[in-house]
C-alpha cells in the first residue's frame, strides 16, 4: 500500500516534477486516494498535492512547474484520516523545511503528536505520518544536524513503515528508513532513487540495493550511506543487485487496461514460469525435497494467493501429502503446534504482503522449513524464506491478480509433480505442462466470446454464486473474487455440495450460478446443477469439452467448454473465463478494472 519514491540528481533539473510524476504513475497501483510531491529548489521546499489520480493531480497542481535537484512523491492508500488534500502526503514541519512521504503505520503516533503539540507544533492533517517531520524539526531545534535528527526520530517510531524525507537545507540528499515495509535504493549515473518498488526505479537504472529491516540512511547521487538502527554502518558493496525486468514490460501495449493485457499475456507468462522452474532445477528440487520430507505441509497466502494456496494444498493431498491451506492473516493461530518436521509454503505475488511475511517469520521461529513462491526475488519474503521459487510472471500492474495467480498454481503443481514418488505420474504431468502455454492461448480463445456476452447479463446482476467441488471450489473462489474486486458484483463461492445446505434459499428466477467442473467429484456436480436449474437459476457451466453430458447440456443456460486437458493443466487454466468475465463486466459497468475502489495491490498494512 502507498507508493513512495525519492529522486536526487547531480544537476538541477527543470523537469523534476515531470520525472516524479512518471515515477508515481508506476506506483499508482499501490494506492490512489491522493498524490503529492515535494521538491527542494535553491534552498526552498515546495509541496503540491491533492486527491485523485496521478495524471489529474499533476495537471491540477502543476507538478510540471516544479524544478530542483531532489524530490519525493507519494500515492496514498489511506489508513489514518480520510482521503483529503490535507491528509495527502508529503507532510511538512511547521517551518516548511522538512517533507516526508510514508508507507505503513506509525503505531505510537498519538502519544508523539501530543508531546509535539505540547511543544508548540501545529498539525495540518489527521495522519500518523505528520508526526515525523515535526519530530525531526523538534530534534533539530536542539542543535542536531538533519540526519542525526532523522535517525533519532525513526528510532522513536513504533510500527511498520518505509519513509523518505527531504530537507530544504540539503539540495541533493534523500533521507530514508525502513521497518518492515519494503524500500529499495536505485543507483544510477548522476541519479539516486529510493522507492517502495523497483518499477519506478527501472527507467533510470537496474542496479539496486534492497534495504533490510531497521535500516536508516541517506543518499545523494554517487553516495549512499546505510546503517542498522542501533548498529554500525552497512557494507553495501556485496549488496548491489542487477534487476532483470525490461522497462518495456511496464507498458499497456495495445490494450485498454492492464488487466486485459495481463490476462492475454498468460500464455507467455506461464511459459516464463515453466522455463524458469526448469532452469532453477536446484532450487526447485530443494523446495520439493523440503516438502517431501516434511510431516505436514502448510500453504499460506492472502487474496488470490490464498486461492492458489488452496489449489496447491489440495493437489499435494491428491499426491498423498498431508497438506493444509490457510489465510496468512490467521497464521498465528493455525501455526500453533507447527514445528521442525513441518514445511510452510508462503505464496505472495509481491513477496511483501505483511500477513504472509509475518507467517514466514512465525514459521521460521518455530523451526519449520519455509519455501516461498514470489514474483519478486528481491522481496522480503524471498530473502527470509529458506528457499524461494521465483515465478517470473513479469510485472503485474493491474490491482486484480490474473497472470500471477495462474503462475502460482502452475508452480505449485510443478512442485508437487517433482516431489511425487510415482515416476510415471511425474513424466506424464511434466509432458502435459509443456503444452501449457499453447493450451492457455486456446482457453482464452474459447472463453472470450462467452465471457463478453455473459458480461452484458452480469452488468445488471446484484449477486451470483460460484460453485465447484474439490478443485472446482478454489477456482470458483478466485472467479468470485475477480468479479467482486473489479465489477463490484456480490459473488459468493461455495463448495457445490454445500449449496443445498443454505445458499440455495437465495436462488430465484435468473439468479446467476456458475459451476466449475474440473477434476475430482465432477460427476456429483450434475446433481447440484439440476437443483439450481429447478429453482430457475441462470446456470453457467465451465467445463472440459469431453465432460459435456446431456444433463449438463439440458440444465445449463450457457456453457463455456474448454479444451480437454490433464487435471494439472486445467487447474492452471480454468480460471481464465472468470478473469475475462470479471474484466468485461467491469467495462460494461463503466468501471476502470485496473483501479478497483478501496483496493491497493501490495498489502503492507495489517
Ligand atoms: N498511514 C499513512 C496514511 O494513512 C500511510 C498509509 C499507507 O501506507 O498505506 O496516510
Q: Of the candidates 222, 248, 274, which is a domain's last residue?
A: 248
Three cell numbers written together for 43? 534552498
Q: Three cell numbers at 283?
A: 532450487
Last residue of a domain, one of 388, 412, 434: 434
Picking from 518, 514, 493, the residue whose alpha carbon sits closest to that of residue 572 is 518
What pLDDT is attached to residue 279?
A: 87
**The pLDDT of residue 245:** 65
- Does one domain contain both 260 and 209? no
Q: Which atom of ligand 1 is nearest to the CA of 78?
A: 4
Do residues 14 and 85 both lie within one domain? yes
> What is the predicted pLDDT for the residue at 254?
85
pLDDT for res 106: 96
Asked if the structure places residue 604 within a domain, the reply is: no
Mutating to test ligand 1, I would choose from 90, 129, 131, 604 the residue with most ligand atoms within 8 A of its C-beta, which is 129
E strand or H helix at 60: helix 54-61
* Residue 58 pLDDT: 97
pLDDT for res 420: 83
CA of 1 to the centre of ligand 1 (A): 8
Please indicate, yes or no, whether residues 485 and 430 belong to a single structural domain of this protein: no
Widest CA span in the chain = 84
Residues 380-399 as b/e (b if ≥16 CB within 10 A, e otherwise) read bbbbbbbbbbbbbbbbbbbb
Q: Out of 25, 140, 533, 601, which one is annotated catalytic?
A: 601
Q: What are phi and psi of 402, to 5 degrees?
A: -130, -70
Alpha-carbon distance of 15 to 11, in angstroms, equals 11
225 within some domain: yes
Look at residue 602 in the predicted model and tell me its pLDDT. Answer: 62
Q: What order of strands is seen across the sheet that includes strand 184-187?
A: 44-51, 34-41, 68-75, 3-13, 191-195, 184-187, 207-210, 240-242
Q: Which set of grid coordinates corresponds to residue 381? A: 519474503
- Give the per-residue pLDDT at 301: 98
Asked if residue 602 belongs to a domain, the reply is no
| Substitution candidate for ligand 1 out of 79, 178, 399 with most atoms within 8 A of CB | 79
Q: What distance in Å separates the CA atoms of residue 476 and residue 138, rounded to the nearest whole number?
A: 54
Q: What is residue 500's predicted lDDT score, i.e. its pLDDT?
A: 87
**Sign, CA torsion 227/231/236/237:** positive
- The residues near 58 (Cβ < 8 Å, ≥ 6 apart) are 17, 21, 24, 35, 64
Q: Is residue 600 part of a domain?
A: no
3-class SS of residue 388: strand
CATH number where 175 lies: 3.60.20.10
Whole-Å CA distances, 80 to 28, 130, 154, 248, 462: 19, 10, 19, 35, 31
439 inside domain:
no
* Atom of ligand 1 lying closest to residue 600 CA: 9
Q: How far apart are CA 578 and CA 521, in angstroms?
A: 21
Report yes or no: 499 and 467 within 8 Å, Cβ to Cβ.
yes
Same domain, 449 and 357: no
Do 341 and 477 lie in one domain? The reply is no
- Is the separation of the CB atoms in 405 and 307 below 8 Å? yes
CA 51 to the chain's CA centroid: 23
Assigned domain for 235 exists: yes
* Per-residue pLDDT, 31: 73
DSSP string, 293-344: H-S-EEEEESTHHHHHHHHHHHHHHHTT--EEEEEGGGHHHHTTT--TT-EE
pLDDT along the chain (606 residues), means of 10: 91 96 86 92 97 94 97 94 96 98 96 98 98 98 97 96 97 95 93 92 91 95 94 91 70 88 95 92 90 95 98 96 96 93 96 94 96 91 91 90 97 93 84 93 95 97 96 98 97 94 90 93 89 96 93 96 93 98 98 86 59
User: What residues line ligand 1, using a CB cutoff of 6 Å?
Assistant: 1-2, 31, 76-81, 102-105, 127-129, 605
**H-only helix segments in 397-546:** 403-419, 423-434, 436-458, 472-487, 522-534
Q: Count up the domains in the chain and report the number.
A: 3
pLDDT at position 198 is 84
Count CA atoms closer than 13 A to 34's CA, side-chain side.
Answer: 23
What CA–CA distance (Å, rounded) separates 99 from 93? Answer: 7
Domain shared by 76 and 220, yes or no? yes
DSSP alpha helix (H) spans, 167-295? 258-264, 266-279, 281-293
Rounded CA-CA distance 536/512 in Å is: 10
Which mutation among 5, 84, 89, 104 tests ligand 1's pocket best, with the greatest number of atoms within 8 A of CB?
Answer: 104
Active-site residue 601, yes or no? yes
Q: Determine if the peptide bond prior to 90 is cis (ω within 30°).
A: yes
For residues 431 and 194, what is the distance between their CA atoms, to the nearest angstrom?
44
Q: Which domain holds residue 578?
A: 444-593
DSSP per-residue string spanning 62-115: TGGG--EEEEEEEE---SSS-S-TTTSSPEE-TTS-EEEEEEEEETTHHHHHHH
Give dist(CA 158, CA 392) in Å, integer.
35
Would residue 281 count as lying in a domain? yes
Are 356 and 481 part of one and the same domain? no
Q: Are residues 159 and 42 in the same domain?
A: yes
Q: Which of ligand 1's atoms lies nearest the C-alpha of 128?
A: 1
Q: What is the CATH number of the domain that holds 584?
A: 3.40.50.10490
What local confidence, expressed as pLDDT, does residue 327 receive?
97
In this structure, are 166 and 257 located in the same domain? no
The answer to whether position 603 is within a domain reads: no
pLDDT for the residue 542: 97
Point out the ligand 1 atom lying closest to the alpha carbon of residue 1.
Answer: 9
Choose, from 2, 49, 113, 482, the residue flagged as catalytic.
Answer: 2
Specify the pLDDT at position 511: 97
Domain boundary, last residue among 220, 248, 276:
248
DSSP letter at 257 equals: S
For cell 518498488, name the residue.
Answer: 197
Same domain, 455 and 421: no
Is 94 considered catalytic here? no
Structural contact between residues 307 and 471, judged by C-beta atoms closer than 8 angstroms: no
In the three-class reduction of DSSP (H, G, I as helix; E, B as strand; rest coil), residue 555 is classed as: helix
Give the pLDDT of residue 252: 80
203 and 179 in a common domain = yes
Are both 491 and 417 inside the same structural domain? no
Size of the chain, expressed as the number of residues it contains = 606
State the distance from the centre of ligand 1 to the C-alpha of 199, rounded, in angstroms.
20
| C-alpha to C-alpha distance for 488 and 371, rounded to whole angstroms | 34
Of residues 604, 548, 606, the one with CA closest to residue 30: 604
Amino acid at each position: 500500500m502507498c507508493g513512495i519514491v525519492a529522486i536526487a540528481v547531480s544537476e538541477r533539473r527543470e523537469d523534476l516534477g515531470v520525472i516524479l510524476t512518471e515515477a508515481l504513475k508506476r506506483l499508482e497501483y499501490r494506492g490512489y486516494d491522493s498524490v503529492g510531491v515535494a521538491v527542494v529548489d535553491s534552498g526552498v521546499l515546495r509541496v503540491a498535492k491533492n486527491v485523485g489520480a496521478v495524471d489529474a493531480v499533476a495537471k491540477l497542481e502543476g507538478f510540471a512547474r516544479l524544478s530542483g535537484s531532489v524530490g519525493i512523491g507519494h500515492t496514498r492508500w489511506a489508513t489514518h484520516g480520510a482521503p483529503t488534500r490535507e491528509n495527502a502526503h508529503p507532510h511538512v514541519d511547521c517551518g516548511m523545511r522538512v517533507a516526508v512521504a510514508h508507507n505503513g503505520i506509525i503505531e505510537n503516533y498519538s502519544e508523539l503528536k501530543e508531546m509535539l503539540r505540547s511543544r508548540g507544533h501545529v498539525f495540518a492533517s489527521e495522519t500518523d505520518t505528520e508526526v515525523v517531520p515535526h519530530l525531526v524539526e523538534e530534534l533539530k531545534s536542539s542543535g542536531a544536524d538533519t540526519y542525526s535528527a532523522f535517525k533519532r526520530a525513526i528510532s522513536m517510531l513504533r510500527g511498520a513503515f518505509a519513509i523518505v524525507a527531504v530537507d530544504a537545507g540539503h539540495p541533493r540528499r534523500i533521507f530514508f528508513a525502513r521497518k518492515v515495509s519494503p524500500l529499495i535504493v536505485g543507483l544510477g549515473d548522476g541519479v539516486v532513487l529510493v522507492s517502495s518498488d523497483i518499477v519506478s526505479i527501472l527507467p533510470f537504472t537496474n542496479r539496486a540495493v534492497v534495504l533490510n529491516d531497521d535500516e536508516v540512511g541517506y543518499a545523494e547521487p554517487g553516495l549512499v550511506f546505510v546503517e542498522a538502527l542501533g548498529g554500525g554502518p552497512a557494507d553495501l558493496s556485496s549488496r548491489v543487485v542487477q534487476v532483470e525486468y525490461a522497462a518495456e514490460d511496464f507498458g499497456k501495449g495495445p490494450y485498454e487496461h492492464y488487466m486485459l493485457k495481463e490476462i492475454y499475456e498468460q500464455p507467455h507468462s506461464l511459459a516464463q514460469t515453466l522455463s524458469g522452474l526448469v532452469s532453477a532445477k536446484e532450487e526447485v528440487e530443494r523446495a520439493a525435497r523440503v516438502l517431501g520430507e516434511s510431516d505436514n505441509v502448510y500453504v499460506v497466502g492472502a487474496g488470490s494467493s490464498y486461492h492458489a494456496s488452496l489449489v496447491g494444498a489440495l493437489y499435494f493431498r491428491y499426491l498423498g501429502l498431508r497438506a493444509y491451506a490457510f489465510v496468512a492473516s490467521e497464521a498465528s493461530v493455525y501455526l500453533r503446534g507447527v514445528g521442525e518436521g513441518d514445511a510452510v509454503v508462503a505464496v505472495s505475488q509481491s513477496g511483501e504482503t505483511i500477513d504472509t511475511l509475518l507467517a514466514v517469520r512465525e514459521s521460521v521461529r518455530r523451526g519449520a522449513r519455509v519455501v516461498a513462491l514470489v514474483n519478486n526475488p528481491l522481496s522480503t519474503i524471498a530473502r527470509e524464506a529458506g528457499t524461494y521459487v521465483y515465478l517470473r510472471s513479469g510485472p503485474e500492474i493491474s490491482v486484480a491478480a490474473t497472470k500471477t495467480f495462474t503462475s502460482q498454481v502452475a508452480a505449485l503443481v510443478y512442485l508437487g509433480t517433482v516431489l511425487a514418488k510415482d515416476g510415471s505420474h511425474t513424466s506424464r504431468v511434466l509432458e502435459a505442462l509443456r503444452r501449457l502455454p499453447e493450451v492457455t492461448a486456446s482457453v482464452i480463445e474459447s472463453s472470450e466470446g462467452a465471457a463478453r456476452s455473459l458480461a452484458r447479463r452480469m452488468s445488471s446482476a446484484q449477486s451470483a454464486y460460484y460453485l465447484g467441488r474439490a478443485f472446482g471450489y478454489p477456482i470458483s473462489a478466485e472467479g468470485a473474487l475477480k468479479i467482486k474486486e473489479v465489477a463490484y458484483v456480490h459473488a459468493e463461492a461455495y463448495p457445490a455440495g454445500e449449496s443445498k445446505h443454505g445458499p440455495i434459499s437465495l436462488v430465484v428466477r435468473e439468479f446467476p450460478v456458475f459451476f466449475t467442473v474440473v477434476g475430482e467429484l465432477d460427476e456429483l456436480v450434475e446433481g447440484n446443477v439440476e437443483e439450481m436449474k429447478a429453482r430457475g437459476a441462470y446456470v453457467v457451466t465451465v467445463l472440459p469439452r469431453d465432460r459435456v453430458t446431456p444433463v449438463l447440456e439440458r440444465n445449463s443456460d450457457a456453457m463455456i467448454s474448454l479444451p480437454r486437458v490433464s487435471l494439472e493443466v486445467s487447474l492452471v487454466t480454468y480460471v481464465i473465463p472468470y478473469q475475462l468475465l470479471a474484466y468485461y463486466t467491469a467495462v460494461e459497468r463503466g468501471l476502470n478494472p485496473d483501479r478497483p475502489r478501496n483496493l491497493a495491490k501490495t498489502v503492507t498494512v495489517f
